[in-house]
Amino acid sequence: MTTFAELLLNGISMGAVYALIALGFVIIFKASEVVNFAHASLLLAGGFITAKLHGSIGFWPALAAGIAGAAAVGCLVEFLVIRRSKAADHSVLAIATIGVDIVLATEIARHIGTDVLAMGDPWGDQVVRLGPVSISEARLAALLVAFVLIATFLLAFKHTGWGVAMRAAAEDGETAALMGVRLSRVSMSAWAVAGALAAVAALFLAVFPTPGLDKTTGMVALKAFPAAILGGLDSTTGALVGGLLIGVTEALMSGYQGDLSFLGRGIGDVAPFLVMLLVLLIRPAGLFGTRELTRV
Amino acid sequence: MAADDPPPPEHPVKRPPLPEKAPGSGLLIEDLQVSYGPVQALRGVSLQAPEGSVVAVLGSNGAGKSTLLRAVSGTLRFHRGAVTGGGVAYAGDRLTGLNAAEIVARGVTQVPEGRRVFGRMTVAENLRAGALGVRGRKAAAAAREHVMELFPVLAERAGQRAGLLSGGEQQMLAIGRALMARPRVLLLDEPTLGLAPLMAARIAETVRRINAEGTTVLLVEQNAAMALSLASHAYVLEVGEVVMSGPAGELAASDEVRRRYLGESDEELPPQDGGSPSRPVLTRWPA
């Protein structure tokens, strides 16, 4: 039972981090109707900046720089690729983001090389005991930070002018433009926010129990992709539920993989995609989505 | 036309007269040409809506009415269209070439065809979206109050999802949402489409009131009777060209408009002896 509770808590914590990434996918899709395959490299860029700077300017300023940097990279991709494109078909843009991802990821991987970079985070490998259940401080921090960020985002999405503009543009871009919404600004802000959230996610993907940031950290973002898809690519709620579902599934499958040995080792890594397949077979638009992915 | 009606002094001109007003007053469309790729939708349309007027644009499906409004509001690019000649100006500012948001900022706002309310957002959020193009909380609050006074039903339904409103209520919301930007020119695309006659009459009454408060209205309608009763001036579009224009009263009295847009057939018309030479005899419904 204790094992289960620990796995569950860890799963929720990982799920919250996946949700941060998935939320980025979703708002980019809502604002510019592009499935952003470059999300992994946005994440890597944010993490890399934090890892490189924390030695000289301290952890918190470095984290802020990483967040700002990833947001800037997001803006740049929007400005240089998405906005310039004359492609009418959004699937062309999605493929263009694959190209952007390869360029960015290769460049960052060149700088990282074979190193595993420490993030310089204050949590280290301490473990907190909550009764019989123990969880690492870093996981607990991830849970809390993700919770606060997601709540802030959702409140802003619901109540601020930015949120109203974003939702209006997502629902009907032409009419939003008729109301004076600057669609290019909405789109760019979505990329910036998605980049910032990805940078925070990068931090928590690279701290304990992970040894640090290496050139494959971005690949973890791929697990958030099923999270966004199974939640419904145009639903913020879906991103949260999808993230948690993936996180918990992965944690439980990995934790009990001794009992599931007939499925082979490493089932935890495959589980997110199995869940996505199952959900999509039953609900093609995702759990909370309203649109099937005809645009992908 | 009844035999005892005085005939209009002259048949409405076939070609619009050159704008006689100095540029800078009201909405001015000059020799506007619009193409969607290889397809030309407007072939040199000129039209004028002086400050404070209601001007109607009539025409059947595909005549280019919606294209005309898209060109004014800067939304052609959403339909892969482009202005290929001529242009639109308001109060001396050239609007052609600006994006939709910049045009809203210059005081020209369109109510889209088919209402297009944001169905997943509440009525209050829809109105808020309408004010996104203007700066200042005070202005938005004043506009909101004005809209609520025009359409009290929107205040009652403020927290409801716009998608759940009736067609008439959605049209009110669409108009109210556009008014949130405090436009000086309101572009209306088929505001009575699909509405019950009573609701259509209410919308017409509201348009009259909005105009009386000083907003210039450019009204695109298939419901010619309603449009001509509201407008001071009207233009008839056919296959991308203005084929007739004139004071609304004159157009309403003209045989051709009556026959083609007011739903009166030849058979109902009393036989006319000879027919004056200025009045071309038309075969019915030339395609």
The whole-angstrom distance between A215's CA and the closest CA on chain B is: 41
Supply the mean pLDDT for chain A. 88
Model pLDDT, residue A127:
87
Residue B239, token pair as written in the block = 């296959």
CA–CA separation, B88 and B76 (whole Å): 13
Q: Which of A88, A174, A179 is facing B129, going by the closest CB pair?
A: A179
| A-interface mutation test, from B118, B122, B126, B184, most A Cβ less than 10 A away | B118
Chain A's closest residue to B77, CA to CA, is A174
pLDDT tens figures, A131-181:
888 889 999 999 999 999 999 999 999 999 999 999 999 999 999 999 999
Q: Is residue A206 part of a domain?
A: yes
Identify any residues that bridge with B93 across adjacent strands, giving them in sequence order.
B90
Q: Is residue A64 part of a domain?
A: yes
Q: What is the mean pLDDT of residues B149-154?
A: 93
- CB contacts of A289 in chain B (<8 Å) are none
Q: Which of A165, A171, A177 is facing B75, going by the closest CB pair?
A: A177
Q: Is the pLDDT of residue B1 over 60?
A: no
Q: What is the mean pLDDT of residues A197-226?
A: 86
Give A276's contacts (C-beta < 8 A, 6+ positions apart).
Answer: A226, A229, A230, A246
Q: Poorest-confidence range of A104-118, A164-178, B12-26?
A: B12-26
Model pLDDT, residue B18:
41
Count of A-B CB contacts under 8 Å = 74
Between residues A291 and A133, which one has the greater pLDDT? Answer: A133
Model pLDDT, residue B282:
58
Q: Is residue A140 part of a domain?
A: yes
Q: How many domains does one find in chain A?
A: 1
CA–CA separation, A99 and A81 (whole Å): 10
Q: Is residue A60 part of a domain?
A: yes
Q: What is the largest CA-CA distance in chain B?
A: 65
Q: Is residue A255 part of a domain?
A: no
Chain A's closest residue to B111, CA to CA, is A178
Chain A's closest residue to B140, CA to CA, is A161
This complex has an ipTM of 0.83
CA–CA separation, A36 and A100 (whole Å): 10
Chain A touched by B114 (CB under 8 Å): no
Full domain range(s) for residue A49: 12-221
Q: Is the pLDDT of residue B278 over 70?
A: no
pLDDT category at A291 given cuts 50, 70, 90 is low
**B219 with B56: CB under 8 angstroms?**
yes
Chain B's closest residue to A159, CA to CA, is B125
The whole-angstrom distance between A246's CA and the closest CA on chain B is: 27
Give B241's contacts (C-beta < 8 A, 6+ positions apart).
Answer: B42, B43, B44, B45, B64
Tell whether pTM > 0.80: yes
Chain B touched by A68 (CB under 8 Å): no
The whole-angstrom distance between A181's CA and the closest CA on chain B is: 6
Model pLDDT, residue B265:
55
Q: What is the mean pLDDT of residues B22-42?
A: 86
CA–CA separation, B15 and A212 (whole Å): 76
Supply the mean pLDDT for chain B. 84
Q: Is the pLDDT of residue A199 over 80?
A: yes
Q: Poorest-confidence range of A118-132, B18-32, B267-281?
A: B267-281
How many other CB atoms sit within 10 Å of the CB of residue A60?
13
| A165/B132 CB distance under 8 A | yes
Model pLDDT, residue B11:
46
| B133/A165 CB distance under 8 A | no
Between residues B176 and A254, which one has the greater pLDDT? Answer: B176
The whole-angstrom distance between A232's CA and the closest CA on chain B is: 16
Q: Is residue A95 part of a domain?
A: yes
Chain A's closest residue to B187, CA to CA, is A178
Alpha-carbon distances, residue B49 vs B25, B28, B222 (angstroms): 9, 6, 19
Alpha helices, DSSP H only, in chain B?
65-73, 100-105, 123-130, 137-150, 152-156, 167-179, 197-212, 224-230, 248-253, 255-261
CA–CA separation, A16 and A145 (whole Å): 9
**B29 with B47: CB under 8 angstroms?**
yes
The whole-angstrom distance between A160's CA and the closest CA on chain B is: 10
Model pLDDT, residue B176:
95
**A95 with A103: CB under 8 angstroms?**
no
Q: Is residue A32 part of a domain?
A: yes
Q: Is residue A253 part of a domain?
A: no
